[in-house]
Amino acid sequence: MSICSIVISRGGAAGSVDSEAGCGEAGDAGSCVELGVCAEVVCEPASGVGAAQPIHNTVTTIIRIIVYAARDSKVISLVRFTTLAVMGAERMKTLFLISFLSLAASAQTVITSISPTSGPDAGGTQVRITGDHLSPALICVLPCPTRVIFGDTSVDAQSESDKSLLVTTPPHEAGTVDVTVSVPGYDSVTAAHAFTFTPTAEAEYERILLPVYIDGTVAGANGTQWKTDFWLRNDGTETVSVSPWTCLGDVCGGVVPLSYPLAAQYALHNPQGLASAQRSNPSQLIYLFKTPEPHVSANLRVADVSRSELNAGTDIPVIREADLLTGRAELLNVPIDAAQSRALLRIYDVTSTDAQYAISLFPQTEEPGFTVTSVFVHATTPHTGQFRNEAAYAQVDLTALLHAVGNVRVEVTPLTPGSRFWAFASITNNETQLVTLVRP
């Protein structure tokens, strides 16, 4: 019995270099099986100390360790890899050690049952999968989780044992899909046509995101008084149903959710009937019935009314369903200068109630550049179920995150399967309180 090899892939300023470190008797390549990526370590430079400093290019070293073993191997092998990385000009050197335990097994994952076998297309259904060999055959220093793939969307297992997995379904288009279980150390196994996503009432509506919606006036920093001004106009020839609505004195009709009938060629201005109570963040979600197709226009503006004689405010994009993002977003030329302004990154997720994002900052240059700093954040909301009135929300103070002066490129990467989101940076001048937006 033998471990075939360990492939170590390094990426850095000079591109990538692959090296191979043997660990035991070399096996025949055709009899080897990839056990999975056990560790991926990103080395970042130490944070700046003291006064703000100019942004420098830095070197980011990424190490990926892929374990290969003979298919019939039952050998347990402890592998350590040590590297010394120079993090950039006049930067401290960082020494780190990766250790992991690999166990190759000849047995294969087996799915015995999946329960329940259906749930709403909005996701959120807890599913129990039973069988054999459902826990990883690898023990890693860094997570290498078991993944369950519903159709083409994967999620991590919430809990696992050798006989059982618990997962929560992601948002997915309605229909019956295959369910694939991928356990590190074993070949993936698929149960065909094993789960059905059923359409929900919310699927008949178009979601519209108002990134900032204020009921009345809200006090802010430096004596500011913030207020939003919102217009929604029906440009079509048929009535459009607007939800969710509180129906205080309005005629809503016997429909669920409660809706307001916006007649053709009419408009709503700062509607008091929007179900906006008890929101935990600045966002507001509204819903338009898709039949007939809504032909609407909208405008949203935020202003510091205590300085209304200086400016009329800043327009905030109203995000319709087709404008939501599903992949990485790039915000270019974001100015960072704590002495002059406050820079905030705002992320809104309309599908999940707890979605994770990776945020990376790069110098704004003509060259590709290297990461200055990075952080992981969660966009969350306590509101669940259909027709919730707010998006999941995360806010990152870029000025506090980066002790430097200069312009940066901000990269926002969704890490939660099925996320549909929007993000932008708002830069508020400390003296004038004028707001500048940087959008994808």
The predicted pLDDT at position 142 comes to 61
Ramachandran sector of residue 312 (left: φ over 0; alpha: ψ -120 to 50; beta: rest): alpha
Greater confidence (90 vs 148) lies with 148
One domain, residues 93 and 172: no
One domain, residues 190 and 244: no
**pLDDT, the chain, mean:** 77
pLDDT digits (tens, 9 = 90+) for 353-412: 888 999 999 999 999 888 999 999 999 999 887 888 999 999 999 999 887 789 999 999
One domain, residues 247 and 183: no
User: Which of 64-78, 190-204, 245-259 reaches the highest mean pLDDT?
Assistant: 190-204
Give the CB-side neighbour count of residue 424, counting CA atoms within 13 A: 18
pLDDT digits (tens, 9 = 90+) for 124-141: 888 999 999 998 876 665
Q: How far apart are the first and last CA of the chain?
A: 53
Task: Please report, for the domain that includes residue 145, its CATH number.
Answer: 2.60.40.10
Confidence of residue 3 (pLDDT cuts 50, 70, 90): very low
Q: Supply the Cα-derived Rg of the chain in whole angstroms.
A: 26
- Domain encompassing residue 94: 5-103
What's the pTM?
Answer: 0.68
One domain, residues 337 and 382: yes
Ramachandran sector of residue 201 (left: φ over 0; alpha: ψ -120 to 50; beta: rest): alpha
276 vs 212: CA distance, rounded Å: 12
Computed from CA positions of residues 32, 34, 39, 45, in that sequence, does the dihedral angle turn out positive or negative?
positive
**Whether the predicted pLDDT of 267 surpasses 50:** yes
Q: Which amino acid is at 3?
A: I
One domain, residues 30 and 161: no
One domain, residues 25 and 90: yes
Contact by Cβ (8 Å): 71, 106: yes
270 vs 232: CA distance, rounded Å: 9
Q: How many domains is the chain built from?
A: 3
**Whether the predicted pLDDT of 49 surpasses 60:** no
**Whether the predicted pLDDT of 12 surpasses 80:** no
One domain, residues 119 and 218: no
The predicted pLDDT at position 28 comes to 42
Computed from CA positions of residues 359, 361, 366, 368, in that sequence, does the dihedral angle turn out positive or negative?
negative
| Domain final residue pick, 53, 78, 103 | 103
One domain, residues 43 and 170: no
Share of the chain above pLDDT 70, in %: 71
Confidence of residue 257 (pLDDT cuts 50, 70, 90): confident
109 vs 256: CA distance, rounded Å: 44
| CA distances (Å), origin 22, targets 25, 69, 72, 210 | 8, 11, 18, 56
Angle subtended at Cα 16 by Cα 35 and Cα 29, rounded to the nearest 5 degrees: 35
One domain, residues 256 and 379: yes
One domain, residues 343 and 379: yes
Greater confidence (3 vs 290) lies with 290
| Domain final residue pick, 75, 103, 131 | 103
| Domain final residue pick, 199, 223, 252 | 199
Concatenating the DSSP letter of every residue in 285-313 gives EEEEE-SSPP-EEEEEEEEEGGGTTT---
One domain, residues 87 and 132: no
Greater confidence (62 vs 177) lies with 177
One domain, residues 134 and 283: no
